[in-house]
Amino acid sequence: MTPELFDTEGAIYMGARREPTGCAVGLFGVPYDGTTSFRPGARFGPAAIRDVSSGLESYDPQLDLDLEDLAFADLGAVAIPFGAPEPVVAAVGRSTEVVLDLGLAPLMLGGEHSISSGAVAAVARRHPDLVLVQLDAHADLRQEWLGARHSHACAMRRCLEVLPSGELRQIAIRSGTREEFQELHATGRLVPIDAMAAALAPLRGRPIYLTVDLDWFDPAVLPGTGTPEPGGFHWPRFAELVEELRQHRLVAADVVELAPQLDPSGVSAVLAAKVTRSLLLLLGRAQ
């Protein structure tokens, strides 16, 4: 039976089951955007990804893998309280623990980026040497933003606090404060786009959590996000990362910050659903 922490009403990702028994991956959504600082709407992201997923093929030619051959569960949406982010982050942590207890690799759909620290904390308790890899336009290293420590602008700062290894790789960040970029350079965590594969190669064999803030993509191909940032990337760069991750032990991931109503064409949701397909297959392959 699907755990009671999840609401199973509504759409389901293509090819998924509701029943987790015998599955390798557990997908779940967190419809929350309570700390959004510019344009709200990420709470509609998980449902939009599911709604458009049936428009994709189940087969991924890059990976030469098919969702039809993967047993995975769409557990539904985490039942979250309205209001402050702290109870939401706690609920995400509990829900991720449930997914792990079921023997599934967690794949979380957001919602805004503040939710990631709850999932990272749960996964890191199982894998103390966990490495966090971040795709994002923004550094997200602020101590607080607009009075909130769990703002989506603080997502990586909070993740670092629950990551025992302290190992974070931030891929091609292009926006942040002067202080954030000083820290990125001083710590060596900032990975240029052309050094992505070389920087990740030494991590082969280590458990990896990949967090994908969809504003990493350029607004020309993904305008449906709350804080768009020009100068981003197109699908071939993401495909390069997927190619490297084929050599890695991906144990969990999330896809966040899709605000579908900001893109009437629906293309942003389709791209997010395709990212999700890639991650489902990579997670299933690693189990």
Cβ neighbors of 54 (< 8 A, separation 6 or more) are: 14
Token output for 171? 């891929």
Domains of the chain: 6-286 (3.40.800.10)
Query: b/e map of 67-99 (b: 16 or more CB within 10 Å)?
Result: beebbbbbbbbbebeeeebeebbebbbebbbbb
Sign, CA dihedral 37-170-196-244, equals negative
Q: Are 109 and 29 in contact (CB under 8 A)?
A: yes
Return the percentage of the chain with pLDDT > 70, whole number: 96
Partners of 137 in the beta sheet?
none
Over 70: is that where the pLDDT of 3 sits? no
- pTM for the whole structure: 0.95
Q: Is the peptide bond before 34 cis (omega within 30 degrees of 0)?
A: no
Region 243-265: mean pLDDT is: 97
pLDDT tens digit string along 128-170? 999 999 999 999 999 876 777 677 689 999 999 999 999 999 9
Tens-digit pLDDT profile for residues 65-99: 999 999 999 999 998 887 788 899 999 999 999 99
Vertex 52 angle, CA 113 and 215, to 5°: 30
Separation of alpha carbons 223 and 263, rounded Å: 6
